[in-house]
Amino acid sequence: MTEFDYVVIGGGAAGCVIAAGLAQDGRFSVVLIESGARDKSPWIHIPATFFKSMASRDVAAVVSEPEPSLDGNRFAVPQGRVLGGGSSVNGMIYMRGQKRDYDDWAEVHGCTGWAYQDVLPVFKSQEANTRLGDPFHGQSGPLMVADPIYKHPLGAAMIQSAIATGLPANEDFNGAQQEGAGWYQITAHKGRRKSAAVAFLRPALHLETLTVLTGHQAQRLKFKGRRAAGVEVIGPEGPKTILARKEIILTAGSFQSPKLLMHSGIGPAHHLTALGIEVIHDAPEVGANYQDHVGAPVTMRLKHPIGVHGADKGLKALRHGAEYALFRRGLLASNLLESGACADTTGEGRPDVQYNFTPFAPGPPGTPPLEVHAVSVNPMTMRPKSRGRLALKAANPASDLHFTANPLDRIEDLDTLRRGIRLARDIFRQNPLAELVTDEIWPGPDVSSIAGSNTLDPAIRKHARTIFHPSGTCRMGPGPASVVDLNLRVNGVTGLRVADCSVMPCLTSGNTNAPTMMIAGRAVGFILADA
């Protein structure tokens, strides 16, 4: 079958939610198109092995041009290329962001209907929280959200030391207050990852209304006049066109959704014309407004071998493997990002820096963890001001993107990381963590974080890295200049929507997996209301 009512392009978190939701309605035929493979790898489903997934065929990195704000270093952003997308390979942290994030979408960016009071019911309807209930949490949705069943002792030490700096204890980062230090809740249950593919798509796979095509790469959209009518794909049997009777929904993420739009004639007219691409609709903001959370780790060597270094080798690996196989617990049941903190470093009344606590030492950007027993407090910008841009390199859909992230282009973001590093170092000075560590690996003892230091900024630029939360490249807004309208319909054409984190007018304060699934959940409602 090559014609369906709805064609969903991109089998990541958003695509799984939308395809399942439309198929479960029962009235329409739906096809979900994913360029990657099925989520069959065992590394996907065992929480602690997501690092192995990141180095597998299930992840492909988009690499920027040399970045002036990183002293010429490139900014590499890994993307899930497998059913479930990022939700199949991420660190599983369940973080919605702040109430004010969504209120700002509505009040500052004109996205009425997207305030916190509008999106909270969707979050709750999707969630099956094993500990928390009303008023902020649901307990009967498809997505399992739970406390980590394995808690590394170093995680507890980092929480206690963070509290010793003056941060409050926080038992729910998605509740009334985001500020504080504590254990994250994660999208895992009983020692298994609960990706969007597992939580949303798998229960719908038996439906006759749903077809899932993996290993199919979308090339460009086909239009009848100004209506999106189909998509050209290349699959195992070669090229073919899949037609949409009602709508096409792009859920390919912040890189591939704008790329597909531009190859299809929707984008900056001067750019497309220069490449010989016929312009369907001049949309200058397609590919603009790129945002990502940026981090820079503070890492200390441990006095004793109590980190996770070497846990995947020899007898230790056998012991952990046996414990997991028999009981679904132990270190392999951990997401290794079990605890963290959100801190207000400006005094403005809302956290601006998120910290992930890890019982290992991150390597330089794009490299594996260091082969040493260490612990790391990892600050990241929560609401970056810097903006990047995507463009096409050639008219051939197989060509790479021209990508400039500009991750520290705005001095405000550099200043946020300066403050974040100062507080991270203060955390390390507090007991019990102070009693467990020796020398600082990064930034290192020769790098001062005193205000006005001329050594900290180069260190930040050298070690700054993505936190894997690209967004904003198909911005939602109230006017025709935005890429999509408030119901996620692409402006200037019909029969086409974008419904992934690329539509965010600005990043949420924290991990983007939960907000992406929320956006997709709202899209299902919009689509069915227009059906």
How many CB atoms are located within 10 Å of the residue 369 CB? 18
Taking every pair of C-alpha atoms in the chain, what is the biggest distance, in angstroms?
69
Contact 354, 180 (CB under 8 A): no
List helix spans (H) across 264-347.
Answer: 269-274, 314-327
293 has catalytic annotation: no
Amino acid (one-letter) located at 398: A
Contact 179, 100 (CB under 8 A): no
Catalytic choice (152, 281, 309, 469): 469
CA–CA distance, 171 with 345 (Å, rounded to integer): 20
Query: Measuring CA to CA, which residue among 272, 253, 249, 254 is closest to residue 490?
Result: 249
For residue 439, give Cα distances in angstroms to 295, 375, 442: 21, 11, 9
CA–CA distance, 403 with 393 (Å, rounded to integer): 9
Query: Measuring CA to CA, which residue among 179, 170, 201 is closest to residue 87?
Result: 201
Determine which helix (DSSP H) or strand (DSSP E) holds 403, and give its type and residue range: strand 401-404
Contact 431, 164 (CB under 8 A): yes
How many CB atoms are located within 10 Å of the residue 208 CB? 8
Contact 523, 126 (CB under 8 A): no
Residue 4 has phi, psi (to 5 degrees) of -140, 165
Catalytic residues: 469
